[in-house]
Structure formats: structure tokens, C-alpha cells
A and B are shown apart, each in its own frame.
Chain A
Amino acid sequence: MMSFYNVLGRYKNFDFERFFEQTSDESIQRIIAKSRLTELDYLNLLSPRSEIYLEEMAQRAHRLTIQHFGRVIFLYTPLYLANFCVNQCVYCGFQIKNELKRKKLTLAEVAHEAEIISATGLKHILILTGESRRESPVSYIRECVEVLKKYFTSISVEVYPLEEHEYAELISAGVDGLTMYQEVYNEEEYAKLHLAGPKRDYRFRLEAPERACRAGIRTVNVGALLGLGEWRSESFFTGIHADYLQNAFPEVEVSISPPRIRPQVGGFQPGFKVTDKNLVQLMLAFRLYMPRGGITISTRERADLRDRLVKLGATKMSAGSCTAVGGRSDSESAGQFEISDERSVAEMAGMLYGQGYQPVYKDWQML
């Protein structure tokens, strides 16, 4: 099986501007009605010209989402385990050059946070660390998973890229999901934004989801951090990455996240603007391209916008989030970025019921 790195290589010198100039209203209308979109159909829907068809795309995306997922939104919450980091990513609050209190949860603190979270009813958790194989090695993550297993039925990891056998180790400890953002798929931009540390290895990160799939992970979630690169091409790459994974690993549940960059310690200004309308267009285009693909919307987005996105293809949302290590029991600590939707799990559930949707706290548990 060809690596996604090689798939992406086909678009190395692709002229997106020129492609967008050549789109036509007829082809966009035809694509919106198609039952199976090609890669380039998807790119058509990401074009500036497609913006005038957003409502048509939205109606279809809404129906497709209900058809494949029902009127439900899966809820999860992130739990930051450690913020030690050896990388110098210019946009990240946890990067090595930033002065902040570095901390790593003890196993007792992990259990304490888990108790606070599980009191809200959530059964799905996403655990995160910075990249430090010394402070938060795989063995530490595994020990945390062993604690969390007692509280949660689904544990996903969003940690530095691992080797296949390390993924296998975490999976056997109880991890069933992987979130791995490539941050920016454009390789030159990637090099400019990741100044130091192991994260400079673009390909090792890009191929991490493949390694996790080979190791037997159940779900993978990929995405680009929107604002770091030109959003239309970055969304295109995210979509074809998801499609590649779904083809190569038909047994894995594949989803994307469209995280827009948020203010953080360090004050980085993103180079590319991504408006609400842009965000909606990429969600709709992806829904039409991969009707069964998941779309995860985090608390990076404002409450009023998230309420609208429920009917625009979203399938999973975070709730009651906190991006600081130990932040649920200690409010002093600085987070990775500022969240926009501060609502509690109960408030989120109320909003969903109000729209005729059911919040799902527990979707899955290994028997």
C-alpha cells in the first residue's frame, strides 16, 4: 500500500488558483447532486465560485448527515496530561520558548480529573500531551490510560507521533482512537512554522495515522490547523488524507477536524484568514465528498456558531473543555489556547435537545 506521502506528492506543483478559475456553475451544480464525488469534484466544492451554492450544499449535507449518523451528536472532552514540550512550533502556547508553568499530572491527579469529568456523564475522552519523550513517555501515557479506563469507555490520544509498536502498546492498554493534526500539509509552510524539535520531521507525522491504523486503532481523526496555510488547499489535503485512510483501512472509522487557530500565550498571528463562511464551506464540501466521514467541532468555535454547525454536517463536539494541565481542579494554569465555548456538558446537551438532537455520551465500548 502506497503511503499518503506519495499520494500527496501528486499535488506537489498543482496550480490551485488556475483550477479554481476553471470551475463552472454547471459543474458545481452537477457535483452537488452526484452520489459519489471524485477528488477533483471535492476540490470544485472548495472553490470560491462554490460559495454561492452554500445553501444547496448545506441542504444536501444536512440530509446526508442525518441519513448516515441520525439526529445525534457525540460528545467528548479533552484532558491535558502534560505540557512539557521540546518542539518550537511558532503558533503553539506550549512551545519550548514560551514561559509557562510546566506540569505533568500524577496518576492520582489523573484519577481526580477523571472523577470530575465522569460526573458530567461523558464516557469519551481525548487525552493530550506536549512532545517530550522524557517527561511524558509512552509508558507514562499508558499508565494514565490504565487509570482512565476505569472511568471511560473510549479513550483517544492526541500526542506526538509514535512508532507502530508504540501505538500497539497503547491500543492494548485501552486506547481506541487517534487524533493527529498535520497542522499544515504544505511541506514548505510546515518547515517555516516548526523551527526546532522532532516535529520538524514532516513525513513521520504525516504517516502517523497510517501506523496507528496498521497497529489496529479503531478511529482516526485528521486535520489541518486552519490559519497556518491557505485554507482551500489545506482542506483539500485533509479530505484526501481522510479518503486515503478510509480506502487503505476500510475497517477504521475516519473523521476530520477543522480547527481554526486561536489566540494563545506567545501572541502568534496566523498568516491566513479563515472566516465562518469558509469553515462552513469546507465542512459541507467534505460531507458531500465523504458522506460517512465524521466531522469534529471543538470548543475553539463560538457557542453561537457551534449551535449552527450541528445541522451543517458536524458529528462530534467537545464539551466542558479545558486546555490547561490539571485545569479542572486548579484554575491558575495557562492553557494551550483560549477556548470560545465555555458551556458545560449539561448546557451543551440542553442546546442539542433544543434543536431536536440527542447528545451521545457513550457510543462504544470494547466487549
Chain B
Amino acid sequence: MKDVFKIGGREINSRLLLGTGKFSSNKLIPEVVETAGSQVVTIALRRVDPAYEEENIAAYVPGNCILMPNTSGARNAGEAVRIARLARAAGCGDWVKIEVITDNRYLLPDNYETVKATEILASEGFVVLPYMSPDLMVAKKLVEAGAAAVMPLGSPIGSNRGLRTKELIRILIDEIPLPIIVDAGLGRPSEAAEAMEMGAAAVLVNTAIATASDPVAMARAFRLAVEAGRLAYLAGPGETQEFARASSPLTGFLRD
């Protein structure tokens, strides 16, 4: 049976989404994307800095990828909407990762503003992937608001602390009828595999690959981990058995 992964009606052939920030050189990006096998690649939109001329990141992303601009830098729904519209006007397509952060200590997303931005952008025809703190009620509101997937954090952005929010993410996987993509905090391939084994539809990884000593090798490691985790999930792992305990039978009285 083919294992199809769809977002916003589009079939995606890789469950490893890749971020392009923090690389020592943008020149690494094409090889990293190719090795990771990623089809969805995130980028950011920034005001230009007169001090130095950066290259256009889009030029480094292979042409068959879906470019997904994030709204990083937005502190409220209005700013996120503005960034998304600018990115689309600039030729980026319909996909957008909503990221609204008002907390500079932990870089945790503002779920309330995220729901508002999702609602507005979905109604404008965007394929909206909101980044959020895992919360069931918020995830339900994102579904109603028209999100194409829900992207809970595993731990704070860039922290490499892994799947700390595991129990909450498990609830989202069980209850939300959209792909759950674990975004932020995955520091090691084993953590990506764990998320996939639990039934996450995909993971988004940036820092762990970009800041590895050998980003290309790490991209390959994550690719294999995501595939292994997915396979394990599909294979239906045996449940952890509860310890047998002596107890009197409860159904012995039934005879028919």
C-alpha cells in the first residue's frame, strides 16, 4: 500500500521538512536539501540591511521544492498576515508557515495570534501551516480556522532539547484530523524517529542539521530516521504490555 502524505491537497514525497537558517554558508543548502530528500523548504522574509548585500536564498533551493516562507519576526497576527502577503506577492507561492513570537526569552509562539492569522490567511487561499505550542483546544481552533496542517513544537526553537512535549503531541496526533508536523526542538535523528513512530505526519528540522559539524551527513541521518520512524509506525508496533497482576476474574459469571 502506498503511503501517501498530502498537505493542502498536494502529495508530498518527503516527510522531512527542512529549514534554511543558520547554515555556515548558503552554498551548502543545495546538497543538504538533496541529501535530506526534502520537498518542502522554509525560508524567511527580511528587510534588507544596507550594511551588506546577502544573496537571495531562493536561488539555492532546488527548483522542484515548495518554498514555504515563514512569518518570523511577526509579533502579532496583523504582521504575520502582512509578511505572508508580501511573500506571496514576491512570487513565493501559496504556502506559509505562521510563526508569531512575542516572547524573546524562550521564543515560544503566541497561540492566540497564530489562530487569528491562520483564519485570515486561509480565507485568502493560503496553504497555512501554523507553528504552535501543543494545545488541544488551540489545535481544534486551527482546524476550524482552515489550517492545512498543525505544527506543534517539540521543545523551544533552536534548543535541540528533543521531544519534550511528547504527551501533548500524542494527544494532537490522536485527536486532530490534520497532519501533525513536529516543528522545532528536534536535536537528534532518534528524536525525529520517535516523533514519526508516534504517528506524526512529518517533522521540520533546521538547527540540528544546519549547526552539525557535517550538515550533509546529518541531513542523511535525519532522512533515514524519519523513514525508519514512519515505517515503524506503519508496521504497528506492539503495545507495551501492562504487568500481569493477580486479580480475580470479572467475567467468570457469564455462561452464554
A and B interact physically: yes
In the complex, A33 has a CB within 8 A of chain B: yes
Closest to A284 in B: B251
In the complex, A365 has a CB within 8 A of chain B: no
Closest to B177 in A: A247
Bound together, the chains give a CA A30 to CA B256 distance in angstroms of: 26
B175, B241, B242, B256: the one contacting A275 at CB < 8 Å is B256
Bound together, the chains give a CA A30 to CA B251 distance in angstroms of: 20
In the complex, A348 has a CB within 8 A of chain B: no
A54, A250, A275: the one contacting B251 at CB < 8 Å is A54
Residues 1 to 54 of chain A near chain B (Cβ within 8 Å): 30, 33-36, 54
Number of interface residues of B (CB under 8 A): 21
In the complex, B1 has a CB within 8 A of chain A: no
Q: A30-B236, A59-B250, A312-B250 are in contact. Are A247 and B175 (CB under 8 A)?
A: yes
In the complex, B240 has a CB within 8 A of chain A: yes
Closest to B252 in A: A55
Bound together, the chains give a CA A35 to CA B175 distance in angstroms of: 13
In the complex, A104 has a CB within 8 A of chain B: no
Chain B residues within 8 Å of A59, by CB: 247, 250
Bound together, the chains give a CA A35 to CA B237 distance in angstroms of: 13
Q: Are B253 and A30 in contact (CB under 8 A)?
A: no
Chain B residues within 8 Å of A62, by CB: 250
Bound together, the chains give a CA A312 to CA B137 distance in angstroms of: 31
Bound together, the chains give a CA A275 to CA B170 distance in angstroms of: 37
Closest to B136 in A: A250
In the complex, A308 has a CB within 8 A of chain B: yes
Chain A residues within 8 Å of B250, by CB: 55, 58-59, 62, 308, 311-312
In the complex, A363 has a CB within 8 A of chain B: no
Chain B residues within 8 Å of A58, by CB: 249-251
B198: min CB distance to chain A, Å: 11
Q: Which of the listed residues B136, B239, B241, B255 has the most CB atoms from chain A within 10 Å of its own CB?
A: B239
Chain A residues within 8 Å of B249, by CB: 55, 58
Bound together, the chains give a CA A250 to CA B240 distance in angstroms of: 29
Q: Are A36 and B254 in contact (CB under 8 A)?
A: no
Bound together, the chains give a CA A250 to CA B175 distance in angstroms of: 11
Chain A residues within 8 Å of B256, by CB: 275-277
A33, A54, A247, A280: the one contacting B242 at CB < 8 Å is A33
Residues 156 to 193 of chain A near chain B (Cβ within 8 Å): none
Chain B residues within 8 Å of A275, by CB: 256
Closest to A27 in B: B236
Chain B residues within 8 Å of A277, by CB: 254-256
Interface 1/0s, chain A 241-283, versus B by CB < 8 A? Answer: 0000001001000000000000000000000000111001000
B136: min CB distance to chain A, Å: 8
Q: Are B239 and A34 in contact (CB under 8 A)?
A: yes
Closest to B253 in A: A308
Number of interface residues of A (CB under 8 A): 20
Chain B residues within 8 Å of A311, by CB: 250
Residues 149 to 175 of chain B near chain A (Cβ within 8 Å): 170, 174-175
Chain A residues within 8 Å of B63, by CB: none
Q: Are A30 and B254 in contact (CB under 8 A)?
A: no
Q: Which of the listed residues B136, B175, B253 has the most CB atoms from chain A within 10 Å of its own CB?
A: B253
In the complex, B238 has a CB within 8 A of chain A: yes
A36, A250, A280, A312: the one contacting B174 at CB < 8 Å is A36
In the complex, B88 has a CB within 8 A of chain A: no
Chain A residues within 8 Å of B238, by CB: 30, 33
B174, B240, B252, B255: the one contacting A33 at CB < 8 Å is B240
A53: min CB distance to chain B, Å: 10
A89: min CB distance to chain B, Å: 28
Closest to A62 in B: B250
Closest to A61 in B: B250
Residues 115 to 139 of chain B near chain A (Cβ within 8 Å): 136-137
Chain B residues within 8 Å of A312, by CB: 250-251
B200: min CB distance to chain A, Å: 14
Q: Are B241 and A33 in contact (CB under 8 A)?
A: yes
In the complex, B140 has a CB within 8 A of chain A: yes
Closest to A51 in B: B254
Interface 1/0s, chain A 299-316, versus B by CB < 8 A? Answer: 000000000100110000
Can you list 29 A-B contacts with CB-CB less than 8 angstroms, sorted by A residue number?
A: A30-B236, A30-B238, A33-B240, A33-B241, A33-B242, A34-B239, A35-B239, A36-B170, A36-B174, A55-B250, A55-B251, A55-B252, A58-B249, A59-B247, A59-B250, A60-B242, A62-B250, A247-B175, A250-B140, A276-B254, A276-B256, A277-B254, A277-B255, A277-B256, A280-B254, A308-B250, A308-B253, A311-B250, A312-B251
